[in-house]
């Protein structure tokens, strides 16, 4: 469908955080896309950091990296996985970025004579960003997700900007959707609408009247409840859409379609409804439910109580499980706590993954789990830091280099098998200075890596400062740890794998950032396939 003007849908959130605004935006996007519209999503984050790259996973969860090397909010991962689209640096703006730009302009003298203020300078900058994303993507519909919850001081400039944005446009060109919670109170045996009413009140106080209310709830909203919410929040009953809890997040678009959410949005934007075709999507969900076996795979890392830190990895296993017709259970193993005898923790798993990470904590534990996987021929997948740890483990326990290490953890190690990349040595600022984004890699034929991709030239996303030390390449190669992927100039080791092991693969990049609901990442798909084979051979497959 070709449209001259982009339509703008704004998503705000109320009552509590973690209602899944990112998934809601993505799911609406999927339906609109299916109906023939080109869609993209912009995330506005109200914090002052220029990007989340400098935050701890405890603060922010995973940092999602785009092809063009931006460190962004994890919601961009949902957008890409659901919509099967590539996001860019433009698709995520923080308050920090907006203020930074405005202050730079002020210093240059662009506002000479003026007092620089939140209104209009910051709000103009926000709106300029929104329009720029629409223009750059030439999309029919731009969905903008505003991070945080209505009532937060931080998000006020964004909401004010949207108020101004709507002011000068035809009513049917913009839409505000407010996501709220309608909790069930057991004592009263009732769904409660008051939190929604209050949250909409806060929105209206600042001049935003939501057009649609998307109400998260653990049970159906009766007509009476919808009527009541509508009455108090100044929308019709039809504009109160229930968003029920689901087992798998990818069911959300189907539920929304059932609730006519997308049709309502298009009607309000005065756009033809187009034809919705979600057959492939439904089939995939069916396939997920039909898989009647399950296996356990261990994730050996530091943030085991913080699944947000590994959001894309969790999603990648869901995708890969679906394509292997098996349910993958993730067993979280805290490598800071693991004993010498790792077999107790790992005897029921048929695959071991060591994810990316920074800093020394938990490293020795990771090395133990890797040794266990290598020696017991359990499928192993090492991602970024996981590859680096696999290299350290191999150096110490196979090549006999006792104190081998990464210089990230031991500056004076006699065997620096992992060391700082040359161009990182002069880096002073921490923000945005890693090797970031998509880089090409060439695979050696007849390797597990090549068998997974079935291509010699691949592109994958990176986020690291350290690399495999080329001085040790020959030693590794001669002793069975082959270098299966290299940067095109042959200088950077991108992938390694162990000969004579069913599946022992490490990659310096982050494949989890390119797995999609529509298409699992080849490395995850093959890792799960190998884990399943191991599970069958070792009677570790369980009935679901």
The residues assigned a catalytic role are 384, 510, 512
Binding residues for ligand GLN restricted to 387-406, rule: CB under 6 A:
388
CA 292 from centroid of its chain's CA atoms: 27
Helix (H, G, I), strand (E, B) or coil at 264: helix
Q: Does 182 bind ligand GLN (CB under 6 A)?
A: no
Strands 212-217 and 240-244, bridge-based pairing: parallel
What distance in Å separates the CA atoms of residue 440 and residue 328, rounded to the nearest whole number?
A: 30
Which lies closer to ligand GLN via its Cβ, residue 396 or residue 510? 510
Q: Does 356 bind ligand GLN (CB under 6 A)?
A: yes
User: How many binding residues for ligand GLN (CB under 6 A)?
Assistant: 11
Q: How far is the CB of 408 from ligand GLN (least distance, A)?
A: 5
Q: How far is the CB of 352 from ligand GLN (least distance, A)?
A: 16
- Give the residue nearest to ligand GLN (CB): 356
Pick from 186, 112, 145, 194: which is nearest to 19 by CA?
A: 145
Q: Does 363 bind ligand GLN (CB under 6 A)?
A: no
Q: Does 466 bind ligand GLN (CB under 6 A)?
A: yes
Binding ligand GLN by CB under 6 A: which of 7, 178, 461, 463? 463
Q: Does 465 bind ligand GLN (CB under 6 A)?
A: yes
What distance in Å separates the CA atoms of residue 31 and residue 29, rounded to the nearest whole number?
A: 5
Which lies closer to ligand GLN via its Cβ, residue 264 or residue 385? 385
Q: How far is the CB of 423 from ligand GLN (least distance, A)?
A: 13
Tokens read off for 492: 């950077």
Binding ligand GLN by CB under 6 A: which of 67, 71, 408, 497? 408
Q: How far is the CB of 435 from ligand GLN (least distance, A)?
A: 8
Q: Does 461 bind ligand GLN (CB under 6 A)?
A: no
Q: Does 301 bind ligand GLN (CB under 6 A)?
A: no
Cβ atoms < 10 Å from Cβ of 116: 13
Binding residues for ligand GLN restricted to 48-77, rule: CB under 6 A:
none
Stretch that binds ligand GLN, among 41-49, 152-160, 205-213, 356-364 (CB under 6 A): 356-364
Q: How far is the CB of 325 from ligand GLN (least distance, A)?
A: 30
Binding ligand GLN by CB under 6 A: which of 363, 384, 481, 505? 384
Which lies closer to ligand GLN via its Cβ, residue 374 or residue 463? 463
User: Residue 197 to residues 200, 215, 220, 240: CA-CA distances in angstroms?
Assistant: 5, 11, 18, 12
What distance in Å separates the CA atoms of residue 157 and residue 147, rounded to the nearest whole number?
A: 12
Cβ atoms < 10 Å from Cβ of 56: 12
Residue that has been written with the tokens 């106080």 in this structure:
205
What distance in Å separates the CA atoms of residue 297 and residue 488, rounded to the nearest whole number?
A: 33
Pick from 263, 253, 176, 186: which is nearest to 219 by CA?
A: 186
Cβ atoms < 10 Å from Cβ of 455: 12
Q: Does 385 bind ligand GLN (CB under 6 A)?
A: yes
Which lies closer to ligand GLN via its Cβ, residue 111 or residue 358? 358
Q: Does 357 bind ligand GLN (CB under 6 A)?
A: yes
Q: Does 358 bind ligand GLN (CB under 6 A)?
A: yes
Burial class (CB in 10 A: 0-12, 13-18, 19+), 118: middle
Q: How far is the CB of 74 from ligand GLN (least distance, A)?
A: 14
β-bridge mates for residue 384, sequence order: none
359: left (phi over 0), alpha (psi -120 to 50) or beta: left
User: Exposure string (b/e) for 478-496, b if CB count within 10 Å is 16 or more?
Assistant: eeebbbbbbeeeeebbbbb
Stretch that binds ligand GLN, among 68-76, 157-165, 196-204, 383-391 (CB under 6 A): 383-391
CB 370 within 8 A of CB 382: yes
Residues of the shown chain interacting with ligand GLN in the complex, contacts defined by CB under 6 A: 356-358, 384-385, 388, 408, 463-466
């Amino acid at each position: 469908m070709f449209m001259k003007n982009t339509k703008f849908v704004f998503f705000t959130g109320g009552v509590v955080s973690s209602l899944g605004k990112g998934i809601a935006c993505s799911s609406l996007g999927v339906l609109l896309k299916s109906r023939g519209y080109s869609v993209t999503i912009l995330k506005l984050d109200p914090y002052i950091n220029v990007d989340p790259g400098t935050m701890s996973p405890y603060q922010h969860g995973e940092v999602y990296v785009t092809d063009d090397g931006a460190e962004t909010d994890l919601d961009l991962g949902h957008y890409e996985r659901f919509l099967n689209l590539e996001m860019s640096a433009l698709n995520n703006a923080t308050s920090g970025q907006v203020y930074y730009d405005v202050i730079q302009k002020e210093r240059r003298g662009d506002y000479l004579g003026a007092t620089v203020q939140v209104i209009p300078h910051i709000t103009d900058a926000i709106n300029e960003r929104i329009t720029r994303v629409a223009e750059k993507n030439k999309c029919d519909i731009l969905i903008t997700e505003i991070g945080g919850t209505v009532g937060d001081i931080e998000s006020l400039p964004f909401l004010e900007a949207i108020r101004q944005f709507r002011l000068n446009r035809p009513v049917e060109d913009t839409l505000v959707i407010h996501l709220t919670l309608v909790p069930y109170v057991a004592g009263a045996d009732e769904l409660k609408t008051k939190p929604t009413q209050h949250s909409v009140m806060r929105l209206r106080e600042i001049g935003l009247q939501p057009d649609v209310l998307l109400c998260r709830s653990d049970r159906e909203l009766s007509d009476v409840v919808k009527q009541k919410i509508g009455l108090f929040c100044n929308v019709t009953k039809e504009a109160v859409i229930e968003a029920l809890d689901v087992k798998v997040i990818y069911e959300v678009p189907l539920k929304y379609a059932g609730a006519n959410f997308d049709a309502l949005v298009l009607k309000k934007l005065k756009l033809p409804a187009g034809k919705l075709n979600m057959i492939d999507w439904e089939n995939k969900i069916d396939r997920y439910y039909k898989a009647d076996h399950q296996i356990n795979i261990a994730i050996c890392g530091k943030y085991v109580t913080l699944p947000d830190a590994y959001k894309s990895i969790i999603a990648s296993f869901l995708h890969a499980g679906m394509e292997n017709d098996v349910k993958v259970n993730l067993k979280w193993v805290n490598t800071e706590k693991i004993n010498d005898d790792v077999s107790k923790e790992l005897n029921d798993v048929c695959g071991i993954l060591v994810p990316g990470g920074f800093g020394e904590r938990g490293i020795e534990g990771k090395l133990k789990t890797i040794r266990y996987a290598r020696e017991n021929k359990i499928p192993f997948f090492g991602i970024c830091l996981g590859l680096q740890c696999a290299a350290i483990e191999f150096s110490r326990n196979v090549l006999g280099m006792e104190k081998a290490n990464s210089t990230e953890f031991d500056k004076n190690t006699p065997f620096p098998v992992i060391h700082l990349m040359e161009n990182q040595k002069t880096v002073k600022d921490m923000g945005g200075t890693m090797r970031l984004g998509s880089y090409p890699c060439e695979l050696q034929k007849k390797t597990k890596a090549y068998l997974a991709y079935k291509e010699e030239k691949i592109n994958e996303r990176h986020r690291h400062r350290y690399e495999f030390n080329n001085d040790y390449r020959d030693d590794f190669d001669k002793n069975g740890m082959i270098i299966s992927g290299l940067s095109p100039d042959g200088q950077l080791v991108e992938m390694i794998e162990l000969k004579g092991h069913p599946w022992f693969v490490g990659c310096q990049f982050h494949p989890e950032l390119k797995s999609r609901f529509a298409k699992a990442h080849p490395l995850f798909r093959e890792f799960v396939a190998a884990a399943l084979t191991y599970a069958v051979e070792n009677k570790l497959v369980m009935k679901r």
